[in-house]
Amino acid sequence: MLGLVHLERHRVCLSTIYSCGLRLQEGIGLRVGDIDSARALVHVHLGKGAKDRYVPLPQRTLELLRAYWRTHRNREWLFPAPGRAGGGESSATVPMHCGGVQEAFRLALAQANIHKRASVHTLRHAYATHLLERGIDLRHIQEYLGHNTPSTTSIYTHLTDKANRRAAQSINALMQDL
């Protein structure tokens, strides 16, 4: 679906939101200095509850961010406001507006013929579910998402049949010598 997003700034922003499990405001508000490429981390400032956190930065996302940054070279914002005529990103003093990203997401959903209710926040849920399916510990996912309690993160455990099958296989393997 992300491949169907037409404007590069929206596609890279949505890809970053998904691949780092960010909220919309966290994604569009990323600054150049928030990227720690040496440690492969993104510093999320003042997330929900005014909490800072670090999330893993996938290599492919870093490559996308670098390529996109070269198109505007804004010293502060990774996703600067484009300006009225689609230019001015290099000197923008604010990040792009969330409405454009939300509309790009809605259009890509329609073009992909996906009729389920979804929003940009759905990418965050997909991130958590996909990490869980890959066997990432729930405690790590809790940290990446910035949740205060494990119970908030545990809602993702019921979302995945794959995780349920893997758990059943592990239980069966553990108990096979009874």
Active site residues: 23, 48, 121, 124, 147, 156
Tokens, residue 47: 């997330």
d(CA 19, CA 128): 10
d(CA 34, CA 31): 5
Backbone angles phi, psi at 37, to 5 degrees: -70, -30
Q: What is the spatial order of strands in the sheet that 35-36 belongs to?
A: 35-36, 41-44, 53-56
Which residues is 80 bridged to in the sheet? 95
**What residue has token string 């009729």?**
115
Which two three-digit tokens encode residue 123?
A: 């990418």
DSSP 61-106: HHHHHHHHHHHH--SSBSSB---TTS--GGG-SSBPPHHHHHHHHH
Q: Rounded CA gap, 99 and 26, in Å?
A: 14
